[in-house]
Structure 1
Protein backbone atom coordinates (compact mmCIF):
# COMPACT_ATOMS: atom_id res chain seq x y z
CA UNK A 1 0.00 0.00 0.00
CA UNK A 2 1.30 3.47 -0.88
CA UNK A 3 2.29 5.77 2.00
CA UNK A 4 -0.22 8.29 0.66
CA UNK A 5 -3.19 5.91 0.78
CA UNK A 6 -4.20 6.69 4.41
CA UNK A 7 -4.23 10.41 3.66
CA UNK A 8 -6.37 9.86 0.57
CA UNK A 9 -8.79 7.66 2.51
CA UNK A 10 -9.17 10.31 5.19
CA UNK A 11 -9.75 13.08 2.62
CA UNK A 12 -12.52 10.99 1.04
CA UNK A 13 -14.07 10.36 4.46
CA UNK A 14 -13.90 14.03 5.44
CA UNK A 15 -15.53 15.05 2.18
CA UNK A 16 -18.45 12.71 2.81
CA UNK A 17 -18.90 14.06 6.33
CA UNK A 18 -18.95 17.66 5.13
CA UNK A 19 -22.19 17.05 3.22
CA UNK A 20 -25.53 17.45 4.95
CA UNK A 21 -26.91 14.01 5.90
CA UNK A 22 -30.57 14.90 5.32
CA UNK A 23 -32.70 16.34 2.54
CA UNK A 24 -36.08 17.35 3.95
CA UNK A 25 -38.89 18.72 1.82
CA UNK A 26 -42.13 20.27 3.10
CA UNK A 27 -45.59 20.91 1.68
CA UNK A 28 -47.60 24.00 2.65
CA UNK A 29 -51.29 24.79 2.20
CA UNK A 30 -51.94 28.54 2.68
CA UNK A 31 -55.73 28.11 2.86
CA UNK A 32 -56.91 24.86 4.45
CA UNK A 33 -60.56 25.49 3.53
CA UNK A 34 -61.93 26.58 0.14
CA UNK A 35 -65.55 27.28 -0.86
CA UNK A 36 -67.00 27.18 -4.37
CA UNK A 37 -70.42 27.51 -5.99
CA UNK A 38 -71.78 24.64 -8.06
CA UNK A 39 -70.55 24.93 -11.65
CA UNK A 40 -67.72 27.34 -10.87
CA UNK A 41 -64.01 26.79 -11.24
CA UNK A 42 -61.98 26.56 -8.03
CA UNK A 43 -58.32 26.42 -7.04
CA UNK A 44 -57.02 24.21 -4.23
CA UNK A 45 -53.81 25.96 -3.11
CA UNK A 46 -50.63 24.02 -2.39
CA UNK A 47 -46.94 24.89 -2.47
CA UNK A 48 -43.76 23.05 -1.52
CA UNK A 49 -40.18 23.70 -0.48
CA UNK A 50 -37.59 21.24 -1.71
CA UNK A 51 -33.77 21.32 -1.82
CA UNK A 52 -32.25 21.68 -5.28
CA UNK A 53 -32.14 18.26 -6.91
CA UNK A 54 -28.60 17.18 -7.75
CA UNK A 55 -29.96 14.97 -10.52
CA UNK A 56 -31.99 17.78 -12.04
CA UNK A 57 -35.15 15.67 -11.75
CA UNK A 58 -38.39 17.42 -10.86
CA UNK A 59 -40.67 16.11 -8.09
CA UNK A 60 -43.77 14.02 -8.59
CA UNK A 61 -46.96 15.81 -7.55
CA UNK A 62 -50.08 13.82 -6.68
CA UNK A 63 -53.52 14.88 -5.51
CA UNK A 64 -55.83 12.51 -3.60
CA UNK A 65 -59.39 12.74 -2.35
CA UNK A 66 -60.44 11.02 0.86
CA UNK A 67 -62.88 12.00 3.59
CA UNK A 68 -61.71 9.27 5.98
CA UNK A 69 -58.04 10.21 6.07
CA UNK A 70 -54.89 10.12 4.05
CA UNK A 71 -54.33 6.35 4.34
CA UNK A 72 -57.47 5.47 2.37
CA UNK A 73 -57.55 8.46 -0.01
CA UNK A 74 -57.94 7.84 -3.77
CA UNK A 75 -55.58 9.36 -6.33
CA UNK A 76 -57.34 11.81 -8.65
CA UNK A 77 -54.36 13.47 -10.37
CA UNK A 78 -50.66 12.86 -10.90
CA UNK A 79 -47.85 14.85 -12.50
CA UNK A 80 -44.68 12.85 -13.07
CA UNK A 81 -41.65 13.30 -15.28
CA UNK A 82 -39.75 11.02 -17.64
CA UNK A 83 -36.60 13.07 -17.96
CA UNK A 84 -37.75 16.50 -19.16
CA UNK A 85 -41.09 15.14 -20.39
CA UNK A 86 -44.05 16.14 -18.22
CA UNK A 87 -46.72 13.46 -17.80
CA UNK A 88 -50.00 14.71 -16.25
CA UNK A 89 -52.79 12.22 -15.68
CA UNK A 90 -56.26 12.50 -14.13
CA UNK A 91 -58.42 9.64 -12.86
CA UNK A 92 -62.08 8.68 -12.55
CA UNK A 93 -64.67 11.46 -12.59
CA UNK A 94 -61.86 14.04 -12.54
CA UNK A 95 -60.60 13.24 -16.05
CA UNK A 96 -60.64 16.47 -18.07
CA UNK A 97 -61.54 18.52 -15.00
CA UNK A 98 -58.30 18.88 -13.01
CA UNK A 99 -54.87 20.28 -13.82
CA UNK A 100 -52.00 22.04 -12.09
CA UNK A 101 -52.33 25.79 -12.46
CA UNK A 102 -48.57 26.45 -12.65
CA UNK A 103 -46.54 23.24 -12.16
CA UNK A 104 -43.22 25.06 -12.51
CA UNK A 105 -43.98 27.13 -9.41
CA UNK A 106 -46.24 25.14 -7.08
CA UNK A 107 -48.76 22.31 -6.79
CA UNK A 108 -52.03 24.29 -6.81
CA UNK A 109 -54.82 22.20 -8.35
CA UNK A 110 -57.44 23.78 -10.64
CA UNK A 111 -60.85 22.09 -10.68
CA UNK A 112 -63.39 23.11 -13.33
CA UNK A 113 -67.17 22.89 -13.02
CA UNK A 114 -67.49 22.12 -9.30
CA UNK A 115 -70.08 19.48 -8.47
CA UNK A 116 -71.83 18.55 -5.26
CA UNK A 117 -69.93 15.25 -5.31
CA UNK A 118 -66.63 17.17 -5.34
CA UNK A 119 -67.16 18.33 -1.78
CA UNK A 120 -64.73 16.81 0.70
CA UNK A 121 -61.09 16.68 1.74
CA UNK A 122 -58.26 16.72 -0.79
CA UNK A 123 -54.61 15.82 -0.15
CA UNK A 124 -51.70 17.49 -1.93
CA UNK A 125 -48.64 15.19 -1.88
CA UNK A 126 -45.16 15.91 -3.26
CA UNK A 127 -42.37 13.34 -3.71
CA UNK A 128 -38.69 14.31 -3.94
CA UNK A 129 -37.13 12.53 -6.92
CA UNK A 130 -33.69 12.61 -5.26
CA UNK A 131 -34.67 11.34 -1.81
CA UNK A 132 -36.55 8.04 -1.86
CA UNK A 133 -37.31 7.79 1.84
CA UNK A 134 -39.78 9.13 4.38
CA UNK A 135 -38.10 12.56 4.53
CA UNK A 136 -38.55 12.91 0.77
CA UNK A 137 -42.34 13.10 0.77
CA UNK A 138 -44.94 15.26 2.47
CA UNK A 139 -48.64 16.07 2.21
CA UNK A 140 -51.18 18.59 3.45
CA UNK A 141 -54.96 18.71 3.04
CA UNK A 142 -57.54 21.18 1.73
CA UNK A 143 -61.24 20.96 2.61
CA UNK A 144 -63.54 21.88 -0.28
CA UNK A 145 -67.14 22.95 0.39
CA UNK A 146 -69.46 23.20 -2.63
CA UNK A 147 -72.53 25.42 -2.24
CA UNK A 148 -75.66 25.64 -4.34
CA UNK A 149 -76.39 29.40 -4.55
CA UNK A 150 -80.07 28.65 -5.21
CA UNK A 151 -80.46 26.97 -1.83
CA UNK A 152 -80.74 29.39 1.14
CA UNK A 153 -77.89 28.93 3.60
CA UNK A 154 -78.46 28.76 7.35
CA UNK A 155 -77.62 32.28 8.46
CA UNK A 156 -77.88 31.38 12.13
CA UNK A 157 -75.12 28.84 12.47
CA UNK A 158 -73.40 29.06 9.09
CA UNK A 159 -71.59 26.10 7.60
CA UNK A 160 -70.41 23.39 10.01
CA UNK A 161 -66.91 23.78 11.40
CA UNK A 162 -63.91 21.62 10.61
CA UNK A 163 -60.87 20.31 12.45
CA UNK A 164 -57.42 21.63 11.62
CA UNK A 165 -54.12 20.26 12.90
CA UNK A 166 -50.99 22.24 13.78
CA UNK A 167 -47.78 20.21 13.59
CA UNK A 168 -44.22 21.58 13.22
CA UNK A 169 -42.77 20.85 9.79
CA UNK A 170 -39.36 19.74 11.10
CA UNK A 171 -37.55 18.90 14.32
CA UNK A 172 -33.83 18.18 14.80
CA UNK A 173 -32.27 16.78 17.97
CA UNK A 174 -28.95 15.30 19.01
CA UNK A 175 -28.82 11.56 19.46
CA UNK A 176 -29.74 10.58 23.00
CA UNK A 177 -31.94 13.61 23.64
CA UNK A 178 -35.66 13.42 24.37
CA UNK A 179 -38.06 15.10 21.97
CA UNK A 180 -41.77 15.95 21.99
CA UNK A 181 -43.54 16.08 18.63
CA UNK A 182 -46.63 18.23 19.28
CA UNK A 183 -49.93 17.80 17.46
CA UNK A 184 -52.50 20.45 18.34
CA UNK A 185 -56.03 20.39 16.97
CA UNK A 186 -58.40 23.32 16.42
CA UNK A 187 -62.11 22.65 16.99
CA UNK A 188 -61.62 19.07 18.17
CA UNK A 189 -64.29 17.66 20.49
CA UNK A 190 -64.37 14.95 23.13
CA UNK A 191 -65.09 12.39 20.40
CA UNK A 192 -61.71 13.02 18.74
CA UNK A 193 -59.21 10.23 18.17
CA UNK A 194 -55.56 10.72 17.20
CA UNK A 195 -53.31 8.24 15.44
CA UNK A 196 -49.53 8.54 15.03
CA UNK A 197 -48.06 6.53 12.16
CA UNK A 198 -45.28 6.40 9.57
CA UNK A 199 -45.35 5.40 5.90
CA UNK A 200 -42.78 4.33 3.33
CA UNK A 201 -41.81 6.42 0.30
CA UNK A 202 -44.72 5.54 -1.95
CA UNK A 203 -47.64 7.24 -3.66
CA UNK A 204 -50.08 5.09 -1.69
CA UNK A 205 -50.41 5.02 2.08
CA UNK A 206 -52.68 2.15 3.07
CA UNK A 207 -50.27 -0.70 2.31
CA UNK A 208 -47.22 0.86 3.97
CA UNK A 209 -48.69 2.54 7.05
CA UNK A 210 -47.17 1.51 10.40
CA UNK A 211 -49.18 2.64 13.42
CA UNK A 212 -47.00 3.93 16.26
CA UNK A 213 -49.53 5.11 18.84
CA UNK A 214 -53.15 6.13 19.33
CA UNK A 215 -54.90 8.36 21.84
CA UNK A 216 -58.65 8.71 22.35
CA UNK A 217 -59.11 12.12 23.87
CA UNK A 218 -62.12 11.15 25.97
CA UNK A 219 -64.57 8.40 26.64
CA UNK A 220 -67.46 10.74 27.42
CA UNK A 221 -68.41 14.34 28.10
CA UNK A 222 -66.92 14.15 31.60
CA UNK A 223 -63.27 13.67 30.75
CA UNK A 224 -59.97 14.34 32.51
CA UNK A 225 -57.61 12.52 30.17
CA UNK A 226 -57.40 10.26 27.16
CA UNK A 227 -56.92 6.57 26.52
CA UNK A 228 -53.38 6.30 25.17
CA UNK A 229 -51.83 3.22 23.57
CA UNK A 230 -48.37 2.69 22.06
CA UNK A 231 -47.78 -0.18 19.61
CA UNK A 232 -45.62 -3.00 21.09
CA UNK A 233 -42.71 -2.33 18.73
CA UNK A 234 -42.37 1.23 20.12
CA UNK A 235 -43.20 0.81 23.80
CA UNK A 236 -39.61 0.94 25.07
CA UNK A 237 -38.99 4.63 24.31
CA UNK A 238 -42.25 6.12 22.98
CA UNK A 239 -45.12 7.67 24.92
CA UNK A 240 -48.24 9.42 23.66
CA UNK A 241 -50.65 11.94 25.18
CA UNK A 242 -53.16 14.51 23.99
CA UNK A 243 -50.26 16.95 23.57
CA UNK A 244 -48.15 14.86 21.23
CA UNK A 245 -45.72 11.99 20.76
CA UNK A 246 -42.68 11.82 23.06
CA UNK A 247 -39.54 9.89 22.12
CA UNK A 248 -36.99 9.28 24.88
CA UNK A 249 -33.25 8.80 24.28
CA UNK A 250 -33.53 9.26 20.52
CA UNK A 251 -31.55 7.03 18.17
CA UNK A 252 -30.48 7.46 14.56
CA UNK A 253 -33.16 4.95 13.49
CA UNK A 254 -35.79 7.38 14.82
CA UNK A 255 -35.05 9.67 11.86
CA UNK A 256 -38.25 9.52 9.84
CA UNK A 257 -41.47 11.39 9.10
CA UNK A 258 -44.13 11.05 11.81
CA UNK A 259 -47.76 11.57 10.83
CA UNK A 260 -50.48 12.72 13.22
CA UNK A 261 -54.06 12.14 12.07
CA UNK A 262 -57.17 13.25 13.94
CA UNK A 263 -60.68 11.89 13.48
CA UNK A 264 -63.51 13.80 15.14
CA UNK A 265 -66.81 11.95 15.16
CA UNK A 266 -68.70 15.15 16.06
CA UNK A 267 -68.10 16.50 12.56
CA UNK A 268 -70.52 14.77 10.20
CA UNK A 269 -70.08 16.72 6.96
CA UNK A 270 -67.78 15.25 4.34
CA UNK A 271 -64.12 15.39 5.34
CA UNK A 272 -64.64 18.08 7.98
CA UNK A 273 -63.73 15.83 10.92
CA UNK A 274 -60.43 14.44 9.58
CA UNK A 275 -57.01 15.99 9.09
CA UNK A 276 -53.43 14.70 9.01
CA UNK A 277 -50.03 16.41 9.01
CA UNK A 278 -46.47 15.25 9.47
CA UNK A 279 -43.29 16.31 11.23
CA UNK A 280 -39.89 15.28 9.85
CA UNK A 281 -37.55 14.31 12.70
CA UNK A 282 -33.79 14.35 12.08
CA UNK A 283 -31.64 12.75 14.80
CA UNK A 284 -28.08 14.07 14.55
CA UNK A 285 -25.25 12.01 16.08
CA UNK A 286 -23.49 13.61 19.03
CA UNK A 287 -20.87 13.00 21.71
CA UNK A 288 -20.74 14.46 25.23
CA UNK A 289 -20.50 18.24 25.09
CA UNK A 290 -17.48 18.18 27.43
CA UNK A 291 -15.33 16.84 24.57
CA UNK A 292 -15.69 20.18 22.77
CA UNK A 293 -16.10 22.58 25.70
CA UNK A 294 -13.43 25.25 25.57
CA UNK A 295 -11.96 24.01 22.30
CA UNK A 296 -11.71 26.03 19.09
CA UNK A 297 -13.32 24.73 15.92
CA UNK A 298 -11.46 21.76 14.50
CA UNK A 299 -11.16 17.97 14.33
CA UNK A 300 -9.92 16.06 17.39
CA UNK A 301 -8.76 12.55 18.22
CA UNK A 302 -11.22 10.81 20.50
CA UNK A 303 -9.87 10.51 24.07
CA UNK A 304 -11.11 6.93 24.46
CA UNK A 305 -10.14 5.47 21.09
CA UNK A 306 -7.29 6.68 18.84
CA UNK A 307 -8.99 5.27 15.76
CA UNK A 308 -11.92 7.65 16.26
CA UNK A 309 -12.26 11.40 15.86
CA UNK A 310 -14.89 14.13 16.16
CA UNK A 311 -15.46 17.68 14.94
CA UNK A 312 -16.10 20.79 17.02
CA UNK A 313 -17.81 23.89 15.66
CA UNK A 314 -17.43 27.44 16.90
CA UNK A 315 -18.64 27.85 20.47
CA UNK A 316 -17.60 24.37 21.57
CA UNK A 317 -20.51 22.56 19.90
CA UNK A 318 -19.93 19.09 18.44
CA UNK A 319 -21.97 18.55 15.30
CA UNK A 320 -21.19 15.44 13.25
CA UNK A 321 -20.83 12.59 15.73
CA UNK A 322 -17.93 10.22 16.34
CA UNK A 323 -16.23 8.98 13.18
CA UNK A 324 -13.85 6.06 12.73
CA UNK A 325 -10.74 5.75 10.57
CA UNK A 326 -10.42 2.77 8.18
CA UNK A 327 -9.05 -0.47 9.66
CA UNK A 328 -5.41 -0.25 10.73
CA UNK A 329 -5.38 3.55 10.94
CA UNK A 330 -5.45 6.02 13.85
CA UNK A 331 -6.40 9.66 13.70
CA UNK A 332 -3.31 11.90 13.85
CA UNK A 333 -4.47 15.17 15.37
CA UNK A 334 -1.22 16.98 14.52
CA UNK A 335 -1.45 16.06 10.85
CA UNK A 336 -5.24 16.26 10.62
CA UNK A 337 -5.87 12.93 8.94
CA UNK A 338 -5.89 9.16 9.49
CA UNK A 339 -2.43 7.57 9.49
CA UNK A 340 -0.91 4.14 10.10
CA UNK A 341 -1.46 3.23 13.75
CA UNK A 342 2.27 2.67 14.35
CA UNK A 343 2.98 6.27 13.33
CA UNK A 344 0.36 7.94 15.53
CA UNK A 345 0.67 9.07 19.13
CA UNK A 346 -2.48 8.52 21.16
CA UNK A 347 -3.23 11.64 23.17
Structure 2
Protein backbone atom coordinates (compact mmCIF):
# COMPACT_ATOMS: atom_id res chain seq x y z
CA UNK A 1 0.00 0.00 0.00
CA UNK A 2 1.11 3.55 -0.67
CA UNK A 3 1.06 6.29 1.92
CA UNK A 4 0.42 9.85 0.71
CA UNK A 5 2.33 12.57 2.56
CA UNK A 6 2.05 16.23 1.70
CA UNK A 7 5.50 17.53 0.86
CA UNK A 8 6.67 20.74 2.46
CA UNK A 9 8.14 22.89 -0.29
CA UNK A 10 8.07 26.30 -1.91
CA UNK A 11 6.09 29.31 -0.55
CA UNK A 12 8.16 30.72 2.30
CA UNK A 13 7.24 32.50 5.44
CA UNK A 14 9.35 35.54 4.61
CA UNK A 15 6.46 37.52 3.10
CA UNK A 16 5.75 40.72 4.97
CA UNK A 17 3.90 44.01 4.69
CA UNK A 18 4.78 47.37 6.22
CA UNK A 19 2.58 50.26 7.22
CA UNK A 20 4.38 53.53 7.84
CA UNK A 21 2.12 55.70 10.00
CA UNK A 22 1.77 59.30 8.81
CA UNK A 23 -1.01 60.76 10.99
CA UNK A 24 0.01 64.33 10.11
CA UNK A 25 -0.43 63.64 6.38
CA UNK A 26 -4.04 64.39 5.31
CA UNK A 27 -3.69 61.97 2.38
CA UNK A 28 -2.70 59.00 4.55
CA UNK A 29 -5.28 56.22 4.82
CA UNK A 30 -4.96 53.86 7.77
CA UNK A 31 -5.91 50.75 5.84
CA UNK A 32 -3.96 47.63 4.88
CA UNK A 33 -4.74 44.40 3.07
CA UNK A 34 -3.42 40.92 3.84
CA UNK A 35 -3.76 38.82 0.71
CA UNK A 36 -4.68 35.16 0.87
CA UNK A 37 -4.74 32.45 -1.79
CA UNK A 38 -5.40 28.76 -1.36
CA UNK A 39 -5.22 25.58 -3.41
CA UNK A 40 -7.75 23.20 -1.86
CA UNK A 41 -11.06 22.51 -3.60
CA UNK A 42 -14.10 23.48 -1.50
CA UNK A 43 -16.92 21.00 -1.01
CA UNK A 44 -19.47 21.11 -3.80
CA UNK A 45 -22.40 21.96 -1.54
CA UNK A 46 -20.64 23.76 1.30
CA UNK A 47 -18.55 26.94 1.02
CA UNK A 48 -15.14 26.85 2.73
CA UNK A 49 -14.57 28.29 6.19
CA UNK A 50 -12.15 31.22 6.21
CA UNK A 51 -10.19 31.83 9.41
CA UNK A 52 -7.61 34.55 10.07
CA UNK A 53 -5.31 34.03 13.04
CA UNK A 54 -2.51 36.02 14.65
CA UNK A 55 0.53 34.54 16.37
CA UNK A 56 3.33 32.02 15.92
CA UNK A 57 2.73 28.86 13.94
CA UNK A 58 1.95 25.76 15.96
CA UNK A 59 1.57 27.68 19.23
CA UNK A 60 -1.55 27.08 21.32
CA UNK A 61 -1.90 30.82 21.95
CA UNK A 62 -2.32 31.63 18.25
CA UNK A 63 -5.45 33.78 18.30
CA UNK A 64 -8.45 33.69 15.98
CA UNK A 65 -9.21 37.28 15.02
CA UNK A 66 -11.73 36.61 12.24
CA UNK A 67 -13.73 33.54 11.20
CA UNK A 68 -16.26 33.26 8.39
CA UNK A 69 -17.89 29.86 8.89
CA UNK A 70 -19.36 27.78 6.07
CA UNK A 71 -22.78 28.42 7.67
CA UNK A 72 -22.37 32.14 7.05
CA UNK A 73 -21.75 33.03 10.70
CA UNK A 74 -18.97 35.59 11.22
CA UNK A 75 -16.84 35.90 14.36
CA UNK A 76 -14.58 38.88 15.04
CA UNK A 77 -12.25 39.11 18.03
CA UNK A 78 -13.25 42.03 20.31
CA UNK A 79 -9.88 43.76 19.78
CA UNK A 80 -10.59 43.87 16.02
CA UNK A 81 -14.30 44.69 16.16
CA UNK A 82 -15.20 47.15 13.40
CA UNK A 83 -11.67 47.03 12.01
CA UNK A 84 -11.43 43.77 10.01
CA UNK A 85 -13.43 42.37 7.11
CA UNK A 86 -13.22 39.78 4.33
CA UNK A 87 -15.18 40.45 1.16
CA UNK A 88 -14.85 37.14 -0.70
CA UNK A 89 -14.32 33.46 0.07
CA UNK A 90 -12.67 33.03 -3.33
CA UNK A 91 -10.00 35.62 -2.54
CA UNK A 92 -10.25 35.92 1.26
CA UNK A 93 -8.11 39.04 1.66
CA UNK A 94 -8.27 40.46 5.18
CA UNK A 95 -8.78 44.23 5.29
CA UNK A 96 -7.54 45.92 8.47
CA UNK A 97 -8.39 49.54 9.23
CA UNK A 98 -7.38 51.82 12.09
CA UNK A 99 -4.18 49.79 12.49
CA UNK A 100 -2.06 50.42 15.57
CA UNK A 101 1.26 49.34 17.00
CA UNK A 102 -0.31 46.45 18.93
CA UNK A 103 -1.43 44.93 15.63
CA UNK A 104 2.18 44.08 14.75
CA UNK A 105 2.74 40.36 14.30
CA UNK A 106 2.24 37.37 12.03
CA UNK A 107 -1.18 36.89 10.43
CA UNK A 108 -2.32 33.52 9.12
CA UNK A 109 -5.03 32.78 6.59
CA UNK A 110 -6.57 29.32 6.92
CA UNK A 111 -9.14 27.95 4.47
CA UNK A 112 -10.90 24.71 5.40
CA UNK A 113 -13.16 22.37 3.47
CA UNK A 114 -15.66 21.51 6.20
CA UNK A 115 -16.41 18.15 4.58
CA UNK A 116 -12.72 17.27 4.85
CA UNK A 117 -11.52 19.22 7.89
CA UNK A 118 -8.19 17.47 8.18
CA UNK A 119 -4.64 17.93 6.87
CA UNK A 120 -5.67 17.60 3.23
CA UNK A 121 -8.79 19.73 3.49
CA UNK A 122 -6.89 22.67 4.97
CA UNK A 123 -4.59 25.23 3.38
CA UNK A 124 -2.76 27.96 5.22
CA UNK A 125 -0.35 30.83 4.60
CA UNK A 126 0.99 33.86 6.43
CA UNK A 127 2.25 37.43 6.30
CA UNK A 128 4.29 39.34 8.85
CA UNK A 129 2.79 42.78 9.56
CA UNK A 130 5.12 45.56 10.61
CA UNK A 131 3.61 48.84 11.88
CA UNK A 132 6.01 51.69 12.46
CA UNK A 133 6.61 55.41 12.40
CA UNK A 134 9.65 55.25 10.14
CA UNK A 135 10.81 52.80 7.49
CA UNK A 136 13.07 49.84 8.25
CA UNK A 137 12.90 46.16 7.20
CA UNK A 138 10.53 43.96 9.15
CA UNK A 139 11.97 41.56 11.65
CA UNK A 140 11.78 38.02 10.36
CA UNK A 141 11.84 39.19 6.74
CA UNK A 142 14.95 37.19 5.93
CA UNK A 143 15.42 34.61 8.66
CA UNK A 144 12.10 32.90 9.36
CA UNK A 145 10.20 30.54 7.11
CA UNK A 146 7.24 28.26 7.08
CA UNK A 147 6.40 26.31 3.98
CA UNK A 148 3.24 24.65 2.83
CA UNK A 149 3.46 21.84 0.30
CA UNK A 150 0.96 21.46 -2.52
CA UNK A 151 2.22 18.21 -4.07
CA UNK A 152 1.55 14.88 -2.30
CA UNK A 153 4.47 12.51 -1.89
CA UNK A 154 3.54 8.85 -2.26
CA UNK A 155 5.64 6.35 -0.33
CA UNK A 156 5.14 2.62 0.05
CA UNK A 157 4.48 1.28 3.52
CA UNK A 158 7.85 0.54 5.10
CA UNK A 159 9.59 2.96 2.76
CA UNK A 160 11.33 6.28 3.41
CA UNK A 161 9.99 9.82 2.91
CA UNK A 162 12.28 12.84 2.49
CA UNK A 163 10.61 16.25 2.98
CA UNK A 164 12.44 19.41 2.07
CA UNK A 165 12.58 22.62 4.09
CA UNK A 166 13.87 25.89 2.67
CA UNK A 167 15.68 28.52 4.68
CA UNK A 168 18.82 29.12 6.69
CA UNK A 169 20.02 26.37 9.01
CA UNK A 170 23.03 25.94 11.23
CA UNK A 171 23.34 25.84 15.00
CA UNK A 172 21.68 29.24 15.46
CA UNK A 173 18.46 28.05 13.81
CA UNK A 174 15.55 26.55 15.72
CA UNK A 175 13.99 23.92 13.44
CA UNK A 176 10.58 22.38 14.15
CA UNK A 177 8.51 20.01 12.03
CA UNK A 178 4.77 19.67 12.74
CA UNK A 179 2.02 17.43 11.40
CA UNK A 180 -1.58 18.55 11.16
CA UNK A 181 -3.90 20.20 11.76
CA UNK A 182 -6.28 17.75 13.36
CA UNK A 183 -9.60 18.48 15.01
CA UNK A 184 -10.74 17.70 18.54
CA UNK A 185 -14.27 16.65 19.51
CA UNK A 186 -15.12 20.22 20.50
CA UNK A 187 -14.39 21.43 16.96
CA UNK A 188 -10.96 22.93 17.63
CA UNK A 189 -9.04 22.43 14.38
CA UNK A 190 -5.85 24.16 15.51
CA UNK A 191 -4.12 21.03 16.84
CA UNK A 192 -0.63 20.28 15.52
CA UNK A 193 1.62 17.39 16.49
CA UNK A 194 5.33 18.03 16.90
CA UNK A 195 7.36 15.49 14.91
CA UNK A 196 10.93 16.65 15.57
CA UNK A 197 12.68 19.81 16.70
CA UNK A 198 16.20 21.12 17.06
CA UNK A 199 16.97 23.83 19.60
CA UNK A 200 18.96 26.91 18.67
CA UNK A 201 22.23 27.88 20.34
CA UNK A 202 24.38 30.99 20.09
CA UNK A 203 27.03 31.25 17.41
CA UNK A 204 29.92 30.94 19.89
CA UNK A 205 28.38 28.18 21.97
CA UNK A 206 30.14 24.79 21.91
CA UNK A 207 26.72 23.15 22.30
CA UNK A 208 25.44 21.89 18.88
CA UNK A 209 21.81 22.08 20.04
CA UNK A 210 19.40 19.38 21.17
CA UNK A 211 17.19 17.28 18.88
CA UNK A 212 13.87 16.03 20.29
CA UNK A 213 11.71 13.45 18.50
CA UNK A 214 8.06 12.64 19.19
CA UNK A 215 7.58 9.13 20.61
CA UNK A 216 5.47 8.27 17.56
CA UNK A 217 8.49 8.90 15.35
CA UNK A 218 11.21 7.63 17.69
CA UNK A 219 13.95 5.87 15.73
CA UNK A 220 12.30 6.90 12.44
CA UNK A 221 12.53 10.70 12.15
CA UNK A 222 15.75 12.63 11.64
CA UNK A 223 17.00 15.93 10.28
CA UNK A 224 19.31 15.87 7.29
CA UNK A 225 21.21 18.41 5.23
CA UNK A 226 19.48 20.00 2.24
CA UNK A 227 21.17 20.93 -1.02
CA UNK A 228 22.65 24.02 0.67
CA UNK A 229 24.23 21.96 3.44
CA UNK A 230 21.83 23.20 6.13
CA UNK A 231 20.27 20.62 8.44
CA UNK A 232 16.60 21.30 7.77
CA UNK A 233 15.12 18.42 5.77
CA UNK A 234 12.99 15.77 7.47
CA UNK A 235 13.52 12.06 6.79
CA UNK A 236 10.97 9.51 8.02
CA UNK A 237 11.78 5.83 7.68
CA UNK A 238 9.56 2.77 8.07
CA UNK A 239 6.56 4.72 6.78
CA UNK A 240 3.21 3.69 8.29
CA UNK A 241 -0.43 4.48 7.36
CA UNK A 242 -0.68 6.69 10.47
CA UNK A 243 2.01 8.95 8.97
CA UNK A 244 -0.43 10.20 6.31
CA UNK A 245 -0.96 13.95 6.55
CA UNK A 246 0.39 17.44 5.95
CA UNK A 247 3.81 18.30 7.33
CA UNK A 248 5.00 21.80 8.18
CA UNK A 249 8.51 23.13 8.70
CA UNK A 250 9.35 26.20 10.76
CA UNK A 251 12.77 27.78 10.88
CA UNK A 252 13.51 30.60 13.34
CA UNK A 253 16.62 32.38 14.50
CA UNK A 254 15.73 33.32 18.11
CA UNK A 255 19.14 34.86 18.83
CA UNK A 256 19.04 37.18 15.84
CA UNK A 257 17.88 40.78 16.01
CA UNK A 258 16.06 40.13 12.74
CA UNK A 259 13.90 37.35 14.11
CA UNK A 260 10.22 38.00 14.68
Q: Given the alignment of the two structures, is residue 239 of structure 1 paired with residue 222 of structure 2, yes or no?
A: yes
Q: What is the DSSP-based 3-state SS (H/G/I as helix, E as strand, rest coil) of the residue aligned with 2:38?
A: strand
Counterpart Cα distance in 2 of 1:164 and 1:29: 5
Aligned to 2:237: 248
**TM superposition shift of 1:62:** 0.5
Change (3 A) 1:160 1:263: closer
Q: Given the alignment of the two structures, is residue 110 of structure 1 paired with residue 95 of structure 2, yes or no?
A: yes
Q: What is the DSSP-based 3-state SS (H/G/I as helix, E as strand, rest coil) of the residue aligned with 1:135?
A: helix
Counterpart Cα distance in 1 of 2:121 and 2:199: 30
**TM superposition shift of 1:228:** 2.2
Equivalent position to 2:75, from 77, 80, 89: 89
Q: Given the alignment of the two structures, is residue 147 of structure 1 paired with residue 137 of structure 2, yes or no?
A: no
Aligned to 1:48: 38
The answer to whether the 8 A contact 1:126-1:137 is kept is yes
TM-score by structure 1 length? 0.59
For residues 66-81 of structure 1, the aligned pairs below 5 Å read: 66-67=55-56, 70-81=59-70
Q: Which has the larger radius of gyration?
A: 1
Aligned to 1:132: 117
Compute the RMSD of aligned alpha carbons.
Answer: 3.1
Q: Which runs of 5+ in 1 are unaligned?
A: 1-20, 274-347
Change (3 A) 1:60 1:67: same
Q: Deviations over 1:319-347 (max 9, x none)?
A: xxxxxxxxxxxxxxxxxxxxxxxxxxxxx
Equivalent position to 2:153, from 158, 164, 172: 172
For residues 164-313 of structure 1, the aligned pairs below 5 Å read: 164-166=145-147, 168-176=149-157, 177-186=159-168, 190-198=171-179, 199-201=181-183, 203-205=188-190, 208-218=191-201, 220-221=203-204, 226-241=209-224, 242-268=231-257, 272-273=259-260
**TM superposition shift of 1:31:** 8.1
Aligned to 1:329: none
**TM superposition shift of 1:29:** 8.5
Q: What is the DSSP-based 3-state SS (H/G/I as helix, E as strand, rest coil) of the residue aligned with 1:233?
A: helix
Change (3 A) 1:30 1:261: closer
Q: Which runs of 5+ in 2 are unaligned?
A: 22-28, 225-230
**TM superposition shift of 1:239:** 1.8
Structure number with the bigger relative contact order (C-alpha 8 A, sep ≥ 6) is: 2
